[in-house]
């Protein structure tokens, strides 16, 4: 079995396993106690904090260990907003942030705060100018991920941090995906990360709050972790997290070059091997081991099952793989195709043979899914000089398949109206038009769902 979903959770690094087992016998006592066992546990905790702080590039007393990366994000945002409440209650986030950031924004808005969601380019990146324009006199906090978890696009953190610093606004960086590869550049104010993303154990997060940042921890607090993460520290897991972070950093430069070559191989060859594919994300400013592409006329969930049966563990942002049947908010914000989406994220040490075998298996898997879906007979009628395709009640990728089947039946310059009540159609039909050189005219209201209007150009 080839595990190609490291962006979700990386396999436990051998160094993490060794450190975890070794510290189980030494780090079980309360580090706040003064007797021998407590002092021993405190030494382990302090050493782990110093190692993690050195990797992050901060002071040890600026770094707190949390029960997870999500808790680090939630605590960081809530504490920074509370600490700057006198300034205002305006929060800035990007449209492609991790759900932990967006959920915090939703809570803040429900509590009476205001939120500006900065749009992204088709590559998935924000612009520094967009963040500068979003800043207001009452902005309390801005948030920006260092790299995107679904498409791998790296964000211009240093530039955004500069404009935020000039405006006196702290910037919180979600560095979960990038911290294993190196420090986050720029004059940021807060940082959150998660150990299981770089090969540490799950259940350990990092929250860094720079000195001078106004911060008021929310909820019940105690004396542990500077009051920013209540509860007894899981010292063996923390030690393993710090040890694995140091280990992956030691091999990061060499491994990044190797994985980047492998993902570039996937980016280049998939469109040649599989017709009607869109490779998404920035082609250059991206994480070394992540590549994402979407396949037209493919049910994402079925494709993932086919790849699983072939021995590959990958993930997807397709709406078909979600219980809500809504496309990934990241792909939606980018305006790219969501149907048949596949994310390949290579773990450290991923063998070249796994990539080659994946490229051998993928064309047949996609062709098999397309064959299973078949070519549905479109229920089409001519109405007001436009061909109307009724796809109501049909889920992705059927509406786009039916559009593709009938586009040749209208003359160049003619219109096709696709009736659909599937949320994914709002994203996938415009993306299909861009891929196939047709014009997306827009969306119109309908008795049920919406009518998506397409003009044939070729």
The half-sphere exposure of 328 on its side-chain side, counting CA atoms within 13 A, is 28
Tokens 């104010």 appear where? 189
How far apart are alpha carbons 376 and 405 in whole angstroms?
Answer: 8
Q: Residue 286: count other Cβ atoms within 10 Å of its Cβ.
A: 24
Among 288, 334, 318, 345, residue whose Cα is nearest residue 94: 334
CA 112 to each of CA 115, 218, 299: distance values in angstroms, whole numbers, following the listed order: 10, 17, 40
Q: What would the two tokens of residue 379 be?
A: 């229920």
Backbone angles phi, psi at 436, to 5 degrees: -100, 5
Among 425, 431, 412, residue whose Cα is nearest residue 451: 425
How far apart are alpha carbons 370 and 349 in whole angstroms?
Answer: 33
Which of 164, 320, 396, 433 is flagged as catalytic?
320
How far apart are alpha carbons 3 and 374 in whole angstroms?
Answer: 30
User: Which is it for the CA torsion 320, 322, 326, 327, positive or negative?
Assistant: negative
Active site (annotated) includes residue 320: yes
Structural contact between residues 157 and 97, judged by C-beta atoms closer than 8 angstroms = no
Residues with catalytic annotation?
A: 320
């Amino acid at each position: 079995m080839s595990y190609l979903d490291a962006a979700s959770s990386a396999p436990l690094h051998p160094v993490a396993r060794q450190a975890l087992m070794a510290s189980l016998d030494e780090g079980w006592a309360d580090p706040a106690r003064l007797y021998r066992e407590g002092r021993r546990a405190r030494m382990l905790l302090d050493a782990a904090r110093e190692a993690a702080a050195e990797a992050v590039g901060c002071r040890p007393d600026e770094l707190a260990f949390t029960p997870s990366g999500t808790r680090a994000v939630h605590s960081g945002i809530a504490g920074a907003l509370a600490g700057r409440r006198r300034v205002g209650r305006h929060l800035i986030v990007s449209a492609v942030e991790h759900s932990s950031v967006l959920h915090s924004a939703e809570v803040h808005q429900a509590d009476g705060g205001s939120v500006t969601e900065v749009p992204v380019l088709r590559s998935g990146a924000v612009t520094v100018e967009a963040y500068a324009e979003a800043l207001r006199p009452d902005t309390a906090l801005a948030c920006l991920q260092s790299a995107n978890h679904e498409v791998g696009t790296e964000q211009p953190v240093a530039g955004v941090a500069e404009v935020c610093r000039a405006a006196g606004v702290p910037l919180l960086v979600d560095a979960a995906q990038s911290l294993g590869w190196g420090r986050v550049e720029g004059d940021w104010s807060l940082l959150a990360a998660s150990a299981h993303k770089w090969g540490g154990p799950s259940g350990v997060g990092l929250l860094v709050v720079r000195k001078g940042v106004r911060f008021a921890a929310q909820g019940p607090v105690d004396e542990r972790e500077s009051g920013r993460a209540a509860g007894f520290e899981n010292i063996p897991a923390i030690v393993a997290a710090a040890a694995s972070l140091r280990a992956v950093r030691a091999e990061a430069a060499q491994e990044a070059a190797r994985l980047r070559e492998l993902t570039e191989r996937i980016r280049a060859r998939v469109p040649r091997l599989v017709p009607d594919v869109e490779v998404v994300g920035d082609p250059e400013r991206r994480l070394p081991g992540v590549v994402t592409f979407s396949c037209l006329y493919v049910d994402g969930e079925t494709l993932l099952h086919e790849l699983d049966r072939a021995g590959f563990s990958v993930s997807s942002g397709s709406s078909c793989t979600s219980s809500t049947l809504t496309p990934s908010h990241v792909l939606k914000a980018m305006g790219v195709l969501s149907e048949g989406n596949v994310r390949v994220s290579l773990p450290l040490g991923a063998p070249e043979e796994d990539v080659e075998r994946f490229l051998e298996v993928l064309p047949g898997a996609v062709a098999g899914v397309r064959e299973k879906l078949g070519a549905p007979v479109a229920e089409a009628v001519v109405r007001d000089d436009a061909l109307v395709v009724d796809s109501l009640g049909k889920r992705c990728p059927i509406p786009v398949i039916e559009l593709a089947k009938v586009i040749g039946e209208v003359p160049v310059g003619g219109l096709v109206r696709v009736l659909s009540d599937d949320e994914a159609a709002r994203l996938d039909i415009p993306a299909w038009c861009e891929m196939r050189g047709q014009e997306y005219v827009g969306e119109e209201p309908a008795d049920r769902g919406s009518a998506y209007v397409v003009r044939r150009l070729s």
